[in-house]
Structure 1
Amino acid sequence: MKATVKQIRLDLQRFSGAGRAWVAALIFMSVPVIGILLNTVMALTGNDGDDARGVLTTMVVGMEVGMIFGLALSLFAEFSNTAIRLNGLLPITRDHQVFGRYAAVSLLSLVYSCGCSIFFFCVTDSYLQGQDHWRDTVLFTLGMFLLGSLLFAVAAPLFYWMEPAKAMIVFVALLGLMTVIAFIGCWLPFDWGAFWNSIMRFLTFDLWRPVLLGLALILAVDMVSIVISRKVYAGKEI
């Protein structure tokens, strides 16, 4: 346990680049804080309509993708450097390093999600077609945490397998492929609106349902990703 905690601290320090783990949390919190400040400016200038707030919310959500990109690059950029890798291996085992890295990213994603929940609560009453402000805020927070966790779960095995630049190219290509598939799906003769509305009604009927299902999905995907990362990392030469 102590070794895993040490690895979490090492990765937070690597990401912040400042030798202080808490700086990483401040970096992740900066995006929702900036979003709140921009919303305040829009409100003071009378430009805080639904469209403007929707664009601002989309920007804040989209920034998490960029933050995960930056996080993955910062943690794996020097992975080929033997000294840096030994920094996380002695006296930390490879398993500790993998578990600690996933835990560090989950921690930062949670910090970002909590910051976004404050942003969401301040900016809008509802973007999930609900009437309960608190409930929609919880769902938005869960969605942000789910997004960050899933992105890193897909990216991490690639970065353990390839050099950072190649892994990033493959990761971006996968996101692009998913976008293309989504566009193709929109042209199919299928009522996607009714389909997604039925799923949302099922998920949001009770608050506990999306929370439990979301956390279960994150846990399952992370476990699969960790198993793959451990197997790939075990084959790496030090």
Structure 2
Amino acid sequence: MMTNLFSIFDPSTNLFNLPLNWLSTFLGIFFIPYSFWMIPNRHYIIWNFTINKLHSEFKNLMGPNSFNGSTFIFISLFSFILFNNFLGLLPYIFTSTSHLTISLSITLSLWLSFMLYGWINNSQHMFIHMIPQGTPAILMPFMVIIETISNIIRPGTLAVRLSANMIAGHLLLTLLSSTSNSIPNYLIIILLITQILLLTLESAVAIIQSYVIAILSTLYSNEVN
């Protein structure tokens, strides 16, 4: 049972002997033509409003010293994670963000780019950031070790946070749905209502997790400037 349960997170699972799981990551390309419509639809209006709000918020977080257009990196990150999180709520679609192959690749590449830029261009600032202001001299070596460890584990914590939240909700939905064959008919309504509530919660988690990843990535990039 556990093998079948966790097979929904197995990227090698196929449909009609065709390994199409990872292709769900590229389904967002079909939404691009919305931006070329002469009269924008409701989906494009809402999405454009969301992007503008995110742009202003990320711009405030990054400060006046940020490069022009750098906020769109994190808007694209938010869009990619949000879309793949929502795709996993549809039946028979592989949740790519629940796999560390995707989440760790995204966070590790961002973290490496931030670290390389910071240590090459702002090495003095990076050294200063490792020791908080007002730290006693006797605690400075320990603070350097703690800050170094906390800095190194950042991509892992971001990736595990995203994958664990996606896996937990999907497992709960799968476990509850697997009990539908063994419960009385009068409890089916309760199970259905519970599934709808959990699906609503998972939709909120999909939005929150993509927003958290984008915000934390923005804050991490602000530390190297």
Quick check: TM above 0.5? no
TM-score w.r.t. structure 2 length? 0.33
TM-score by length of 1: 0.32
Please say which structure displays the higher CA radius of gyration: 2
Higher RCO (C-alpha under 8 Å, 6+ residues apart): 2
